[in-house]
Amino acid sequence: MLADTFKDKVIIITGASSGIGLASARLFGSMGAKVVMAARSLEKLESEAPSVSADAEKVLCVKTDVTREEDCRNLIEKTVERFGRIDILVNNAGISMRAMFKDLDLKVIRALMDVNFWGTVQCTKYALPYLLASKGSVVGVISIAGYSALPARTGYSSSKYAVRGFLDTLRIEHLKDGLNVLVFAPGYTASNVRNAALTADGTPQGKTPLEEGKLMSAEECALHLAKALQKRRSQKILTFLGKATVWAHRFFPNLTDRLTYGYIAREADSPFK
């Protein structure tokens, strides 16, 4: 059974205060895992902790800004201090953007790389000795944009491509060590990420261009993540559109570029207009 895989496992989830991160924390908590929730807002984490597990001893909330190396180190130290081991690290913390590169303040790309790429690298660096000891799993939650680029998301796509390259390399380095490295690529998933996406000057756009109610739920996405971890998969791409996009990008890149352009051009308040 799926629940048996995660019972009493120590699972760290960054970006755990909302969206896929919170849904994953709740799912793993319901299966009896010991869940470490990390995010910048300790208040939000602590308010959500009871929904993760009724047993307060099985949930640890750690205030963590993944752009700060010392916070990432502290997250790992607090986890080991409390639970003595680490079985799974889910690098989920991330931010997005929406603006044409020609209009973009470069601080926006730096911000996305700091959170999406360096956050993954730093947390993984300090968790790695414990994951190797447990022959555990490290996950990078990327995006279809980490396989096939999205226009008006230069910083987002770049950071997700970078995470994929980092994790693919890490997998090969530890091919003989029992470490599972999963690149997890959801398609469009209902969350707050588009509301918080940065605009050209670095301010949040405050609204989403998509109909969030028609997207995959965070809970369904979390279930896919759990199943991929149970099978110790190295890659998981979600949704029919996501799989089709990755396939088409590989075999028909020029066609995919044109189709992607048309898709983004139809968005509400498209940057192309």
Tokens of 249: 């990008």
Q: What is the pLDDT of residue 120?
A: 98
Q: What is the pLDDT of residue 214?
A: 67
Q: What is the pLDDT of residue 78?
A: 98
How far apart, in whole angstroms, are the C-alpha atoms of residue 61 and residue 1?
28
Average pLDDT, rounded, for the chain? 93
Residue range 149-172: average pLDDT?
A: 96
Q: What is the pLDDT of residue 193?
A: 67
Residue of 21, 59, 14 whose CA lies nearest to 40:
14
Q: Does the pLDDT value for residue 209 go beyond 80?
A: no
Chain position carrying tokens 């096939």:
148
Per the CB < 8 A criterion, the answer to whether 32 and 7 are in contact is: yes
The pLDDT confidence band at residue 196, using thresholds 50, 70 and 90, is confident
Q: Does the pLDDT value for residue 4 go beyond 80?
A: yes
Q: What is the pLDDT of residue 176?
A: 96
Q: What is the pLDDT of residue 24?
A: 97
The pLDDT confidence band at residue 206, using thresholds 50, 70 and 90, is low
Q: Which residues are catalytic?
A: 156
